[in-house]
C-alpha cells in the first residue's frame, strides 16, 4: 500500500493516534516530528520505554505518555498485558473504532500492544516480519534520508515538509531551568561568566563511538570557553578525566534528568558530541553542533539537524562504517576512525561554530 493510500484511509482528520516507540532514547527524540505532525490531526498518546518517558514531558504534541518498563516492572507476558490494560483504559473514552496506532518500532511486542488493546487500525512498516503480520496497513520504510524524516513517512507526511517541521523538539520547563541554574557544581559565578558555553558529551553506550581526546580538547578550550560535561552516571570517569585537564569544567554527569540536560544544551553556544543522544538533543534545541562519527556514518540517518552543525569523520577509511551502532571494540584493533580525528580539527570546528555567535 502506498503512502498516499494510507493518507486517504486515515482521513477524515481528527482521529486520535497511539504511537508506539519502544526503541532507544535517541529514537524517541527523532519521533517528535511525527508526533507533531499527527497532533495536527487529533490527540496523540505515546507508548515509550520508561526511561524515555521523561523526554516527552510537557511536549505540546502529546496528550498522554504511557511508559513501558519492558525490562523491569512490565517485563514478560504479565507486564505486557498490564500495559495493554493501561492502553485500553486510555482509548476507552474514544468513539469506537476511532483510534489509529502507529508502530514506529517494528517489534512483535510493540505490534501486540494495539492489537490486544483492540485498536482497529495499525500502521507499520512493510516487510517487518513477524510484526507486520499484525499490521492492517503498511508503508515502505524509506531507504534514505534522516531518520526523523523517515519516521514521518509512517503518517504519510508530505515529502517536502520544511526543515523546521522535521527537526525534533523537546520542551523543558521552568523547573528544569531552575535545576540547572542552581546546580551546586556550577554556581552563580559560572552562569555569569561571559565566555561562550561549550557542552562536551564524551560518552556513548557503544565503546568504539567514543572519541578518546575530550580531555585534550578541554585543555585547549578551557581558557576561551566555559565547559560543561554531560552524560549519565556511567560517564563520570570520562568527566573526571576532562576535569584533570580543565579543572573549571563543570561536571553535570549523572545528576541531570534528560529534560534538564536539554535545558542545559539549549543554553550552550556549542555542543561537541559523539554520535549519541546528545546530538539529537542539540538538534531539538537547535544548538550549534560538532558531531564526531567513527564506526557509524550520518548516512545511516542519525546525523545532527541543528541549523549550524558540522560532522567530523575520517572519510578515507575503507572500513567505515563497520557496524550499525558501533561495536564495543574495533574489529581491526586500531580504531583509526576515531584516533585519526585530531584535537586540532575539533577545536577548529568549535571555534568556527562560536565565530557565528552574534556579537554582544
Taking the least distance from each CB to ligand SF4, the nearer of 80 and 322 is 322
Q: Is 337 a binder of ligand SF4 (CB under 6 A)?
A: yes
Cβ 213 to ligand SF4, closest distance in Å? 15
The nearest distance, CB 294 to ligand SF4, in angstroms, is: 5
CB of 291 to ligand SF4, least distance (A): 16
Residue 170 region by backbone torsions, left for phi larger than 0, else alpha for psi between -120 and 50, else beta: beta
Q: Which is nearer to ligand SF4, 210 or 243 (CB)?
A: 210
Q: Which run of H or of E encompasses 242?
A: helix 236-245
Interaction between residue 311 and ligand SF4 (CB under 6 A): no
Q: Could you tell me the sign of the dihedral formed by the alpha carbons of 324, 328, 332, 335, in that order?
A: positive
Nearer to ligand SF4, 14 or 331 (CB): 331
Q: Nearest distance from residue 315's CB to ligand SF4, in Å? A: 12
Task: Indicate the burial class of 247 (C-beta count within 10 angstroms; 0-12, 13-18, 19 or more).
Answer: exposed
CA distances to 24, 88, 96, 188, 250 from 125, in Å: 18, 23, 25, 50, 43
For 352-355, the CB contacts below 8 A with 24+ separation are 352/310, 353/269, 353/270, 353/288, 353/289, 353/290, 353/308, 353/310, 354/196, 354/198, 354/224, 354/225, 354/269, 354/270, 354/288
CB of 143 to ligand SF4, least distance (A): 22
- 335 binds ligand SF4, rule: CB under 6 A: yes
Should residue 3 be labelled a site residue for ligand SF4 when binding is judged by CB under 6 A? Answer: no
Told to check if 137 binds ligand SF4 by CB under 6 A, we report: no
**340: how many CB neighbours lie within 10 A of its CB?**
14
88 scored as a contact of ligand SF4 (CB under 6 A): no
> Which residues have C-beta within 8 Å of that of residue 129, sequence separation ≥ 6?
none
Task: Using the rule CB under 6 A, give the single segment among 44-52, 141-149, 213-221, 330-338 that binds ligand SF4.
Answer: 330-338
Compute CA distances 224 → 70, 189, 351, whole Å: 45, 16, 10
Using CB under 6 A, pick the residue from 298, 300, 336, 352 that binds ligand SF4. Answer: 336
Nearer to ligand SF4, 57 or 311 (CB): 311
Q: Which of 23, 228, 246, 330 contacts ligand SF4 by CB under 6 A?
A: 330
- Give the residue with the Cβ less far from ligand SF4, 99 or 313: 313
Contacts to ligand SF4 from residues 266-305, by CB under 6 A: 294-295
- Using CB under 6 A as the binding rule, the residues of this chain from 189 to 228 that contact ligand SF4 are 208
How many helices and strands in the chain, by DSSP H and E? 14, 12
Residue 198 β-bridge partners: 227, 270
Among the listed residues 3, 82, 219, 320, the single contact to ligand SF4 using CB under 6 A: 320
The residue ranges that bind ligand SF4 (CB under 6 A) are 208, 294-295, 317, 319-320, 322, 330-332, 334-337
Amino acid at each position: 500500500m502506498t503512502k498516499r493510500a494510507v493518507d486517504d484511509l486515515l482521513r477524515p482528520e481528527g482521529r486520535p493516534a497511539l504511537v508506539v516507540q519502544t526503541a532507544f532514547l535517541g529514537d524517541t527524540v527523532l519521533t517528535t516530528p511525527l508526533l507533531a505532525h499527527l497532533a495536527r490531526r487529533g490527540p496523540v498518546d505515546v507508548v515509550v520505554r520508561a526511561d524515555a518517558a521523561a523526554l516527552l514531558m510537557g511536549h505540546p504534541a502529546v496528550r498522554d505518555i504511557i511508559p513501558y518498563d519492558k525490562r523491569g516492572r512490565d517485563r514478560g507476558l504479565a507486564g505486557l498485558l498490564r500495559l495493554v490494560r493501561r492502553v485500553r483504559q486510555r482509548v476507552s473514552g474514544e468513539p469506537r473504532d476511532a483510534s489509529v496506532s502507529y508502530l514506529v518500532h517494528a517489534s512483535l511486542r510493540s505490534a501486540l500492544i494495539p492489537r490486544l488493546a483492540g485498536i482497529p487500525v495499525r500502521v507499520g512498516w512493510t516487510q517487518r516480519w513477524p510484526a507486520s503480520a499484525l499490521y492492517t496497513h503498511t508503508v515502505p520504510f524509506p531507504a534514505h534520508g534522516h531518520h526523523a524524516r523517515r519516521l514521518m513517512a509512517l503518517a504519510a507526511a508530505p515529502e517536502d515538509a520544511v526543515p523546521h517541521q522535521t527537526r525534533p523538539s523537546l520542551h523543558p520547563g521552568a523547573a528544569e531551568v531552575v535545576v540547572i541554574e542552581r546546580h551546586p557544581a556550577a554556581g552563580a559565578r559560572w552562569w555569569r561568566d561571559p565566555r561562550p558555553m561549550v557542552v562536551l558529551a564524551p560518552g556513548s553506550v557503544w565503546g568504539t563511538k567514543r572519541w578518546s581526546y575530550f580531555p585534550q580538547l578541554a585543555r585547549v578550550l578551557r581558557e576561551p570557553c566555559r565547559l560543561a560535561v554531560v552524560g549519565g552516571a556511567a560517564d563520570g570517569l570520562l568527566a573526571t578525566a576532562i576535569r584533570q585537564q580543565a579543572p573549571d569544567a563543570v561536571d553535570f554527569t549523572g545528576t541531570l534528568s534528560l529534560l534538564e540536560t536539554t535545558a542545559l544544551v539549549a543554553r550552550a553556544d556549542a555542543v561537541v558530541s559523539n554520535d549519541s543522544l546528545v546530538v539529537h538533543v542539540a538538534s531539538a534545541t537547535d544548538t550549534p553542533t560538532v558531531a564526531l562519527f567513527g564506526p557509524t556514518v550520518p548516512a545511516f540517518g542519525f546525523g545532527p539537524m541543528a541549523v549550524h552543525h558540522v560532522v567530523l569523520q575520517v572519510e578515507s577509511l575503507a572500513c567505515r562504517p563497520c557496524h550499525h551502532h558501533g561495536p564495543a571494540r574495533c574489529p581491526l584493533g586500531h580504531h583509526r576512525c576515531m584516533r585519526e580525528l585530531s584535537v586540532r580539527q575539533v577545536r577548529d570546528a568549535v571555534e568556527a561554530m562560536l565565530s557565528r555567535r552574534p556579537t554582544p
